[in-house]
Structure 1
Amino acid sequence: MSTRVITYGTFDLFHEGHVRLLERAKALGDHLIVAVTTENYDSTRGKLNVSQSLMQRIQNVQKSGLADEVIIEEYEGQKINDIQRYEIDIFAIGSDWLGKFDYLNDYCKVVYLDRTKGVSSTQLRDETGILRIGVLGSGRIANRMVEEVRFVSGVNVEGVWSRQVASAQKFADVHELRVVAETVAELLAEVDAVYIATPHGTHGELARQAMAAGKHVLCEKPLALTKAEAQELYALAEQHQVVLLEAIKTAFAPGFQRMVAVARSGSIGQVRSVDATFTKLVTSGRELEAPDGGSISELASYPLVAIVKLLGTGYTDVTSSSLRPEGSEVDTFSRVDLTFPHALGTARVGLGVKAEGDLVVAGTNGYIYVPAPWWKTEYFEARFEDPGDNKKYYYKFDGDGLRYEVAEFAWLIRNETPESFKLRSSESITIAAIIEAARADATVLR
């Protein structure tokens, strides 16, 4: 009796890694069925930047000669039906989905196939146009980023560098990365771009090194803690003709973009104030360590991106107040107030104080309310004097949201576009300038 195997995937920009995966799946049995996902289903599951049509992707799989049968995956839950309909014995999928499909063991055997770490990165670049990314840093945010990249078509994380080689090795083992670099230069030689996820004070140095090597840079927020350094970095990006993008994920989220568009369209009248709060409770770690820690440097980028996107970059004054408890090296709660010619902006951030994390955009005809956590905007309301005029808006925010900034970064590089309208260099520079002023001139309370 023959053994029937099934596997699923988008198979966009079909490359050697796909071939190896299908070869391993085919070796498990006598008949391999390959299910290719539709654009609509990819969208519902949060997959971004798929560049080829469904028919192109099906043809790529067929041309490989490895599939005995090709079907289409169109909806959530279809795998269970397919397994029963096609009398499947083995469900095979890449090991980056380890544990995700264990529920299918009730219907057939589930096999997770190891990723092909030996695939040449040159092949990925030259044959398919895959963007090869290296990760600088191996902390919490870097781990979340690698998990999110798998939802962005045409992007592959090649390797990692960390100040601690053991940490980099552990990171690479967990995420099945090909390269564990002992030096930054070693990693740069293997990639087209880098994602910087190191402590704030190291961002500038690492970005300079990467751009000087001709590599594109996606840098965690804050890109810089001073206006001068932010200006210098964007000037270097222009000089070296590479993309430099600050990774403030909120700026790239579909719901947040739509909220800004609604607010600035005039539907609530003229925007007169923006009030945004972002707090989380932290008891230890670099966030609470001088000289670069504190609530302003750690969190202010989020409310400030809302203020800048809604009110612009032409503020006239910055004042701030910070709570620094006895024994603390940094501010644990801060309020930053911005004055514009015809509006006011307020950002509240905290590492040691918890508050309602909402966003209110006040206009002359009404206001927009975004509930906590507003920085992951999935829902907002436009509210008016007459409640009958109120409108509700709903949008997807998939995963941790990091996929949106990666997708934008990849799009800019592929389209040779140096700047994103979703977060312009002038806006990043303004955010750095406000952070610098707020930290330097805060009224400190104890």
Structure 2
Amino acid sequence: MRRVITYGTFDLFHEGHRRLLERARALGDYLIVGVTSSSYDNGRGKLNVRESLVERIRNVADSGLADEVTVEEYEGQKIHDIQRLDVDVFAIGSDWIGQFDYLGDYCEVVYLERTKGVSSTGLREAGGVIRMGVVGAGRIARRFVSEARFVSGVSVEAVWTRRPEKARHFADEFELQWANESYSDLLTHVDAVYIATPHETHVDLTRQALEAGVHVLCEKPIALRVDDLENLYALADERRLVLLEALKTAFSPGFQRMVAIARGGSIGTIRSVDATFTKLVRSGRELETSDAGALSELASYPFLAIVKLLGTSPAAVTTRAITTDGVDTFARVNVDYPQAIASATVGLGVKAEGDLVVAGTQGYVYVPAPWWLTEYFETRFEDPRDNRKFFYKFDGDGLRYELAEFISMIRDETSESFRLLREESLAIAALMERSRSEFTSFGG
């Protein structure tokens, strides 16, 4: 007897799950299905799992395709299961291709082609998978598709970019159903879009999606002008759609906890926030498009920390920037509040220590570089015996956190996330607009 094993979360069991199990079963005579436990899903960074383990096991059993169901509870269990259950074939979806080659030492490894278009009814059926389209096919879009597999209840189905051949290559690589020839075509195939295109295109692409009745998760900054962002929020409300800024740090567990601790009084009253984000970029979109520069590319992150920790109503904003061929490549923004002072330092082609320091009247919070991927921070005091260290998970590239929040907002029919309030996004946009339009420049 040829024994086959496969694994998955199997949340919101749908046609794609059924087809994968059918293909796995066709590889042998006896199919074992491993269903991940909630604790294991949490440990591997799987988000938004809506059904209990018991419900997910029942759904697999009710499919009639599994001869045996087991529970996957810990990393490394696959090797043990293969050995103890005398497995001949390990089968898994092709979106994991290459990642389980090591199991070839124990059995045959087969990657099953991903089922395209698994949820054609989208949100029209209770529990349906949300169909997602990707706008853009660059570095961040690629990361997004890879991260999306860690969020339950969403399926990336389509892509559009200005170069059709690039969209087709992207769709082939990630096994998407649609490589759309036009943006309007993409909007007919999906329930929601992730926009990862140059900054100057965000407002128009977001508006078109909302007008077509499609929810929008848009890379930061959604808009470089406050009035544009206000108009988009008004349109989203009019159409009863979700519009969320994809500023991943805001949704990560470590950053959220750091803000809560800093504002919770343990370091006293906050008097200053100093945040730095720089990276080495010599050419490309960040330096060459109409809205290029260190401020538009990077300042959203330090502005997020400032707004979260000091509020949305600064008293004054002043900026100094070094420019090269008219593009700001290094800038420092001073943001004054009635009882506090903040600074945001950003640079392209310049490298500095990318840390975050929050100073209070009793102590301070230190978040080491890269602070925007917050995994660890410390509270430090006059007496070092009072210092504390905090550790939190930051899985993958962090895009799963913003996507999980976005999907939850759609399902819960809520227009706002407490993790990134509209008021905060508008305050960040105001800081962006003021810092870019009023800076004192020097350089070549």
TM-score scaled by structure 1? 0.98
Contact 1:16 1:123 in 2 (8 A): no
Q: May I ask how many residue pairs the two structures share in their alignment?
A: 443
Could you say which residue in structure 1 is the equivalent of 2:384?
A: 387
Cα 1:163–1:156 change in 2 (3 A) is same
Describe how 1:300-311 pairs up with structure 2 within 5 A: 300-311=299-310
**2:360 maps to which of 360, 363, 377:** 363
Query: How many Å separate the matches in 1 of 2:117 and 2:335?
Result: 52
Paired amino acid for 2:362 = N
Structural RMSD (CA):
1.0
Which aligned pairs between 1:122-201 and structure 2 lie closer than 5 A? 122=121, 126=125, 128-201=127-200
Partners of 1:4 and 1:89 within 8 A in 2: yes
Q: Summarize the alignment of residues 191-340 of structure 1 with structure 2, pairs less than 5 Å apart.
A: 191-325=190-324, 328-340=325-337
Specify the alignment match of 2:37 in structure 1.
38
Distance 2:107 2:124 in 1: 36
Shift of the 388–120 alpha-carbon distance from structure 1 to 2, 3 Å rule, reads closer
| Alpha-carbon separation, structure 2, partners of 1:201 and 1:188 | 20
CA offsets, 1:359-393, max 9 Å, x none? 00000000000000100000000001010111111
CA 1:211–1:118 in 2, change beyond 3 Å: closer, same or farther? closer
Paired residue secondary structure (2:328) = coil
- What is the match of residue 378 of structure 1? 375
Q: Distance in 2 between matches of 1:127 and 1:408?
A: 19
**Relative to structure 1, is the Cα distance of residues 108 and 65 closer, same or farther in structure 2, using a 3 angstrom cutoff?**
same
**CA shift for structure 1 position 125:** 5.3
Shift of 1:86: 0.5
Q: Provide, for residues 402-432 of structure 1, a one-character-per-residue CA deviation record: whole Å limited to 9, x for no partner.
A: 0000000001110111100111111111111
Q: How many angstroms does 1:185 deviate by?
A: 1.5
Q: Return closer, same or farther for 1:211/1:4 CA change in 2, 3 Å cut-off.
A: same
Aligned counterparts of 1:290 and 1:43: Cα–Cα separation in 2: 40
Q: 1:404 aligned to 2:404?
A: no
Native 8 Å contact 1:121 1:158 kept in 2: no
1:444 to 438, 441, 444: 441
SS at structure 1 position matched to 2:349: coil
Distance 1:253 1:123, change over 3 A: closer
Q: Matched residues in 2 for 1:286 and 1:3: separation?
A: 53
1:185 & 1:216 partners in 2: Cα distance?
14
In 2: Cα distance, 1:240 partner to 1:118 partner: 25
Name the CA distance, whole Å, in 2 between partners of 1:7 and 1:358.
43
Equivalent-residue separation in structure 2 for 1:66 and 1:142 (angstroms): 35
Counterpart Cα distance in 2 of 1:358 and 1:181: 41
SS at 1:344 equivalent? strand
Unpaired runs of at least 5, structure 1: none
Question: How far 1:329 sits from its partner (Å)?
Answer: 3.9
Aligned partner of 1:107 in structure 2 is: 106
Deviating runs (4+, > 4 A) in structure 1? none
Q: What is the alpha-carbon distance in structure 1 between the residues aligned to residue 123 and residue 30 of structure 2?
A: 28
Are the aligned partners of 1:367 and 1:383 in contact in 2 as well (CA < 8 Å)? yes
Alignment partners' CA distance in 2, 1:234 and 1:352: 34
Say if 2:13 and 2:59, in contact at 8 Å, map to a contact too: yes
Q: SS at the partner of 1:100?
A: coil
Equivalents in 2 of 1:118, 1:200: separation in Å?
Answer: 30
| 8 A contact 1:295–1:331 mirrored in 2 | yes
1:123: Cα distance to partner?
Answer: 6.4
How far apart are the structure 2 equivalents of 1:279 and 1:201?
Answer: 21
The alpha-carbon deviation at position 290 of structure 1 amounts to 4.0
Q: CA deviation at 1:227?
A: 1.1
Percent identity between the aligned chains?
A: 66
Q: Do residues 346 (structure 1) and 343 (structure 2) align?
A: yes
Match for residue 93 of structure 1? 92
Q: Are the aligned partners of 2:123 and 2:191 in contact in 1 as well (CA < 8 Å)?
A: no
Distance of 2:45 and 2:193 partners within structure 1: 23
Question: Amino acid of the residue matched to residue 122 of structure 1?
Answer: T
- Give the deviation of 1:128 after TM superposition: 3.4
Which sections of structure 2, spanning at least 5 residues, go unmatched? none
Give the partner amino acid of 1:167: K
Report the equivalent of 1:431: 428
Letter in 2 for 1:395: Y
| SS, match of residue 349 in structure 1 | strand
**How far apart are the structure 2 equivalents of 1:129 and 1:337?**
47
Whether contact under 8 Å (2:187, 2:214) holds in the other structure is yes
Give the counterpart letter for 1:200 in structure 2: H
* Alpha-carbon separation, structure 2, partners of 1:297 and 1:118: 36
Q: What is the rounded CA distance, in whole Å, between the counterparts of 2:313 and 2:430 in structure 1?
A: 12
How big is each residue's C-alpha offset from its partner over 1:230-251, in whole Å with a ceiling of 9 and x where there is no partner?
A: 1111111111111110000000
CA distance in 2, matches of 1:322, 1:333: 6
